[in-house]
Amino acid sequence: MIKPVLKGQRLVALFLLGALLFNYPLLALFAGSERVLGIPLLYLYLFTAWIALIGLMALIIERTDT
Amino acid sequence: MITGALIVVLSFGYVGLLFALAYYGDKRADAGRSIIANPYIYTLSLAVYCTSWTFYGSVGRAATSGIGFLPIYLGPTLMAALWWYVLLKLIRISKAHRITSIADFIASRYGKSHLLGGLVTIIAVLGIVPYIALQLKAISASFSIILQYPTEALVIDSFSDLPFLHDNTFYIAMLLAAFTILFGTRHLDATERHEGLVAAIAFESVVKLVAFIAVGCFVTYGMYDGFSDVFRKAAALPEFNALLNQGGAAGNYTNWLSLTVLSMLAIILLPRQFQVAVVENVDERHLNKAIWLFPLYLLAINIFVLPIALGGLMHFPAGTVDADTFVLTLPMTERVTWLALLAFIGGLSAATGMVIVETIALSTMVCNDLVMPILLRWKYLRLTERRDLSGLLLGIRRGAIIVVLALGYGFFYLAGEAYALVSIGLISFSAVAQFAPAMLGGLFWKGGTRLGALWGLTAGFLVWLYTLLLPSFAKSGWLPITFLTEGIFGIDLLKPQQLFGLQDLDDISHCLFWSMIANIGLYVTISLWRRPTATEHGQANLFVDVLRYVAAGSGSRFWRGSATVIDLQTLLGRFIGPERAHEAFAAYARSQGIQQIEKLTANAVLVHYVESQIAGAIGSASARDMVASVVDEEPLALDEVMAIIDEASQALAYSRQLEEKSRELQSATDELRKANQRLQELDRLKDDFISTVTHELRTPLTSIRAFSEILSDNPQLDQAQRGKFLGIITRESERLTRLINQVLDLAKLESGAADWNPSEMDMREVIEEAATALSQIYKERNIRLELQLPEITPPVTADRDRVMQVVLNLLSNAANFCEKPDSRVCITLEHRSEALQIEVSDNGIGISPADQAIIFEKFRQVSDMPAGKPKGSGLGLAISREIIEHFGGRLWVDSTPELGSRFCFTLPLQRIGGAALAA
């Protein structure tokens, strides 16, 4: 098991990353009318970032290194 | 065709299924085989966050503000990352102090304050009851819509036309009240956990997710050809660009941020979330998986929101169908009966789940933090004297459930389609957000005080009321609209949604900004204004440092007083029933390793235990009062509390290092102590030795000097006298020499520096030689010396000269103590199994038992010497013993006074190897 303290700090770092990804000004970068495969870029970006964030959370929680 | 009967059977059947599930869950819990004790059920129960406001409302919101519905789910995702610290702390604190609601939490944190608990309860009820009404409205609307099947395209407002008792929503509400009472107040329990209820809620979460995804897939892949197709086709919509680009809500970053922050707070501060996440938590380790599984659930339930919204917008002509109903109306319009029914059940599950949990959470608050404190203070009722209050408590809980649901239903019935109801979701979020400073501040900042929290909460609540709730009433037409447009009393600066002229913010951001300024501002300012009291300080430390105070009952450190066990048990019995109280005490006794309750002592730990048990039933503030009524308490002064805290925190911080260090120190100390004892012993011996030696040396010196002086002062002395004196001087000099030699010899022996020359020797020969050497002395004194030696003896390995020294010493000692006529000394040599034993026995004066013990010590001689002056140096036996022990033998004495003595020593035969003998 990794040290719980380290795990907690990683999660806080992830929170900060999420707060950055889900807010102005990064959102503004994707707010144009571009499409990827017909899907609006902003929509795609938000869900991709969301999935990535959840993936990282799972990684931090479930990983048991020494 | 869907008939009314089918819908009624289906919906009541569904609620019946919940009953069955909850019943099964409770049964399993009673049997000790919990079905909810795993992280997946825990995560699903957290998903009670997604109400009908999510199920129907997200699509509605998406249809008007594009991706503007997302922050409501992104906020909780972000918060989940902080759960590791925030929620874990909440769970630990609540478990340790038996906290069962947010009101109780805040009251307990700030010194168990009734006022704070009551205020929080009032805010929660005001903020949440309309939210419950919204769920009932959703149920009612979905009933009306699905009854129209297959004609979906009507905006229906039929519930208000129905007579009261024909309204299905009314029956559903009654059924939910029954369900909540049955599974939420089955019995009073200090933990207030309801396993069956949680099982039902988790099931509801599965139903609504499956239903929503089914509709989403149907719209995206059935009606259209995947995501790309939906978006491509939707691009033709006139409002499309506004929905998904900067022009729409997506571009309104302030609103986006406000919603994110609000939902972050809501996910822990909504009463229902606190209930499932904290109170119903079985094991804090379940939090681990929930941290990423819960956001995953939110993602899953949101992925199809926009496609459904766009599908609905494209499918129905603008304005014909309320976007809030697309989830239901799209399957209907495509004539997919099973999917329409599934969507209906999904919406029902989302609404009922929320209503059940929210009602139970509110009823706990109302009972523990509003009604009980008032009833207990009302002297007229003499409640404090009642023997068993558990029935009354359950009655109040059940009453509170009915009242909360009735209020919800009443609000729904009266408000109907009013703005106040439609927009209540975010208004509720804003209300519970007011708990954030007191709650989160109290969780991480020790400085927050009761007054600070009280003023902060009050101010924030009033600002919320003025800038959000009252304007929604005005928009519903219940207040004059001039209230909004011109401000109260026509004062322009006080316009509720443009307070002090702040115009650029939307109403939610506006309220959040001003209420948080007031709330946080007052909370911090007033907290810093005045020193906290001892109680506040104690509680602050217990809460903020909860992750460090692992041991249960740590609150007892801040208590001092006296009580009796029977009083405490009776008190507990009054609130949770005598039987459960007995069980609780028995459990406590077991945990303390005590067999019988009677043998318990009413110490601080027990008092704290009882208080926390009662707190589970009636809230921490009232529990404090109740316990205080049977206990003589001595208040602790602030500096005492501080001292306890400092002590504890320092001790905790360094304990591990200290433990290790002290272990090392301990062993070092032990060694040092031993060494020191040895040194002191040696030092004492040395001192004794030196003083004895100097004394012994002085005696012959004095006599030499005295006779020398006589000789030198009296030259006329005759030859005979002169010869006699010179003889004395010579003898005394010899004695002095011998003494010095022996002292040196003993010093060498003791220090281990003596020279040893071990060799094989014949003991017989040694004895004979010694006897020969002393024969002249024996003859002079007329003592008979007998030798009893065997013919053959095995050789022994020892230092011949040293052993000779021992034998000579013993023989001359014997001669010295044989003064009777007919004296006789006998020396024998025996071959024992493993050693040679040599005995020197005499028939002399003998040695008293007291003297036997000391004659082997240095300079100790037999005390009552008949001959007056001691004859030896007092070192002979000490040296002899050193020698014999060096060769592994033993030297001892048996003696009977007046009859004689017997000195024996042994020398082991070839047992000891040469190596041990080599010096």
For residue range A30-40, list pLDDT tens digits in order.
777 777 777 88
Higher pLDDT, B614 or B90: B90
**Are B291 and A11 inside 8 Å of each other by CB?**
yes
**Are A8 and B85 inside 8 Å of each other by CB?**
yes
Lowest-pLDDT range of B47-51, B647-651, B871-875, B915-919? B915-919
pLDDT of residue B689: 74
Contact B799, B759 (CB under 8 A): yes
Higher pLDDT, B389 or B212: B212
Q: How far apart are CA B309 and CA B60, in angstroms?
A: 7
Nearest CA in chain B to A19: B78
Separate counts of helices (H) and strands (E) for chain B: 39, 9
In the predicted model, is pLDDT for residue B244 greater than 50?
yes
Give me the mean pLDDT over the B277-303 stretch: 89
Nearest CA in chain B to A59: B292
pLDDT of residue B915: 40
pLDDT of residue B463: 92
Picking from B422, B751, B544, the residue whose alpha carbon sits closest to that of residue B93 is: B544
Picking from B377, B9, B11, the residue whose alpha carbon sits closest to that of residue B172 is: B11
Q: How far apart are CA B53 and CA B58, in angstroms?
A: 7
**Are A42 and B82 inside 8 Å of each other by CB?**
no
Distance from CA of B299 to the nearest CA of A (A): 8
State which H helix or E strand residue B433 sits in.
helix B424-433
Contact B789, B767 (CB under 8 A): yes
Higher pLDDT, B642 or B405: B405
Kindly report, residue by residue over B733-765, the tens digit of the pLDDT: 888 888 888 888 887 887 777 778 888 888 888
In the predicted model, is pLDDT for residue A44 greater than 70?
yes
Give residue B163's pLDDT band: very low, low, confident or very high (50, 70, 90).
very low
In the predicted model, is pLDDT for residue B359 greater than 70?
yes
pLDDT of residue B261: 92
Kindly report whether the global pTM for this prediction surpasses the value 0.90: no
pLDDT of residue B387: 65
**Residue B493 has which token pair?**
């600066």
Higher pLDDT, B15 or B602: B15
Q: How far apart are CA B788 and CA B725, in angstroms?
A: 42
In the predicted model, is pLDDT for residue B917 greater than 70?
no
**Are A35 and B231 inside 8 Å of each other by CB?**
yes
Distance from CA of B292 to the nearest CA of A (A): 5
Q: Is the Cα dihedral B309, B304, B296, B11 positive or negative?
A: positive
Contact B909, B836 (CB under 8 A): yes
Instruction: Reply yes or no: is the peptide bond before residue B150 cis, omega within 30 of 0.
Output: yes
Q: Which of A31-45, B263-277, B779-793 has the highest mean pLDDT?
A: B263-277
pLDDT of residue B573: 80
In the predicted model, is pLDDT for residue B46 greater than 70?
yes
Kindly report, residue by residue over B442-489, the tens digit of the pLDDT: 888 888 888 899 999 999 999 999 888 888 888 877 777 777 777 777
Q: How far apart are CA B609 and CA B593, in angstroms?
A: 15
Distance from CA of B63 to the nearest CA of A (A): 14
Picking from B101, B103, B112, B105, the residue whose alpha carbon sits closest to that of residue B622 is: B112
Q: How far apart are CA B405 and CA B96, in angstroms?
A: 31
- Write phi, then psi, for B782 (nearest 5 degrees): 65, 45
CB-based contacts of B628: which residues, under 8 Å, 6+ apart? none
Of B85, B232, B292, the CB nearest to A38: B232
Provide the residue type at B807 as one letter: V
B257 Cβ under 8 Å from any chain A Cβ: yes
Picking from B903, B906, B689, B905, the residue whose alpha carbon sits closest to that of residue B814 is: B903
Distance from CA of B142 to the nearest CA of A (A): 29
The mean of the pLDDT values for chain A is: 82
Which of chain B's residues have a Cβ under 8 Å away from the Cβ of A27? 250, 253, 256
CB atoms inside a 10 Å sphere around CB B341: 21
CB-based contacts of B723: which residues, under 8 Å, 6+ apart? none
Distance from CA of B77 to the nearest CA of A (A): 8
Beta bridge partners of B835: B908
Residue numbers of B between 48 and 107 with CB closer than 8 Å to A? 67, 70-71, 74, 77-82, 84-85
Which of chain A's residues have a Cβ under 8 Å away from the Cβ of B81? 11-12, 14-15, 18, 53, 57
Give residue B918's pLDDT band: very low, low, confident or very high (50, 70, 90).
very low
Nearest CA in chain B to A11: B81
Give residue B636's pLDDT band: very low, low, confident or very high (50, 70, 90).
low
In the predicted model, is pLDDT for residue B423 greater than 60?
yes
Give me the mean pLDDT over the B362-387 stretch: 77
pLDDT of residue B536: 78
Q: How far apart are CA B339 and CA B239, in angstroms?
A: 28
CB atoms inside a 10 Å sphere around CB B712: 8
B852 Cβ under 8 Å from any chain A Cβ: no
Distance from CA of B258 to the nearest CA of A (A): 11
ipTM: 0.94
The mean of the pLDDT values for chain B is: 81
pLDDT of residue A30: 79
**Are A54 and B253 inside 8 Å of each other by CB?**
no
- Mutation for A interface: B229, B239, B291, most A CBs within 10 A: B291
Percentage of chain B modeled with pLDDT above 90: 13
Kindly report, residue by residue over B528-576, the tens digit of the pLDDT: 988 777 777 777 877 887 776 554 444 555 555 667 777 788 878 877 7
pLDDT of residue B156: 44
Q: Which of A50-54, B633-637, B689-693 has the highest mean pLDDT?
A: A50-54
Contact B259, B346 (CB under 8 A): no
Kindly report, residue by residue over B568-602, the tens digit of the pLDDT: 888 788 777 778 888 888 888 887 777 777 777 77
pLDDT of residue B859: 67
Of A12, A23, A24, the CB nearest to B81: A12
pLDDT of residue B157: 43
**Are A57 and B295 inside 8 Å of each other by CB?**
yes
Higher pLDDT, B633 or B275: B275
Kindly report, residue by residue over B402-421, the tens digit of the pLDDT: 999 888 888 888 877 666 66
Q: How far is CA B590 from the centre of its chain?
A: 19
Give residue B869's pLDDT band: very low, low, confident or very high (50, 70, 90).
very low
CA distances from B133 to B32, B130, B722 (A): 37, 5, 137
In the predicted model, is pLDDT for residue B154 greater than 60?
no
